[in-house]
Amino acid sequence: MQTVAKEGEQDYLANIGEMGRTHCLNKPFSDTYCGMNLTSIGTIMSLLPPAPARILDLGCGGGWTSIFLARHGYEVVGQDIAADMIELARENAGLYRVGDHLQFICGDFESLDFQDHFDAAIFFDSLHHAEDEALAIRSAYRALKPGGILITHEPGEGHAIHPQSIQAMELYGVTERDMPPQLIIARGKEAGFVDARILPMPEELFSIFYKRRTYPKHLLSKRRFNISRRVLRLLFKPDPAKGAIVIQTK
């Protein structure tokens, strides 16, 4: 169903100007968080069945994730609601030799026609732009073959009130919602997914393992204790409210 919020998504590229367009075309290299984006797509690739599985990239924007996957040999369909984003994604794909491995289609991920076709579907930072996440997850479920997987990479609670999200909503009329694992998993269960795993976002791992430490290194320091507690929690009791990668099986 066409709504004002969906018009905001469709008009976004036209409204962000030439610099914004160049940024979209050059993602992830143009992004401040390029390293994290690369780690995220690498993590997602490592969760996928081997190429040449069929992958549906939902809300693919300028297409960088679809292109990465196609360059590895996956059969990819990138999908987005914005016709000019799809044009941009096609232009982007033209820069690489991906040939027939990659197609882009324009449409609403809340009402897709695919049935039992894909080995995996991905929402990479796009499900939180949905007006109705239940419809979007049901669409993805239908599109998957039995045993297929849905991977979401989405921000958790607090995203909708982040100053950048508020600015984007005010300036461009786009949707920016919280999309925590607990909501994604609840909607997944309603759709028919049989199991779910919550995996940490790369930035969470970065802040634990890779970030430079400025605190005392002795074994019993309070900071060390807190970090150990975070690691154990990630392993045994991941926070269902925090941004995460969620993987569910049909």
Long-range (24+ apart) CB contacts under 8 A made by 18-27 are 21/88, 24/61, 24/62, 24/85, 24/88, 25/62, 25/88, 25/91, 25/92, 27/61, 27/62, 27/64
Note whether 81 binds ligand SAM by CB under 6 A: yes
- Smallest gap from residue 139 Cβ to ligand SAM (A): 9
Enter the tokens of residue 239.
Answer: 């926070």
The contact mask relative to ligand SAM for 121-150 (x = CB under 6 A, - = no) is ---xxx--xx--------------------
Strands (E), the chain: 54-58, 75-80, 102-106, 118-124, 144-154, 195-200, 244-249
Q: Which of 160, 165, 116, 172 is nearest to 139 (CA)?
A: 116
Note whether 119 binds ligand SAM by CB under 6 A: no
Q: Applying CB under 6 A, what is the total number of residues that bind ligand SAM?
A: 20
Contact with ligand SAM (CB under 6 A): which of 48, 55, 56, 60?
Answer: 60
Note whether 109 binds ligand SAM by CB under 6 A: yes
Note whether 242 binds ligand SAM by CB under 6 A: no
The contact mask relative to ligand SAM for 209-228 (x = CB under 6 A, - = no) is --------------------
Note whether 154 binds ligand SAM by CB under 6 A: no
Cβ neighbours around 77 below 10 Å, total:
22
The residue length of the chain stands at: 250
| Residues in touch with ligand SAM (CB under 6 A) | 9, 27, 59-62, 64-65, 80-82, 85, 108-110, 124-126, 129-130
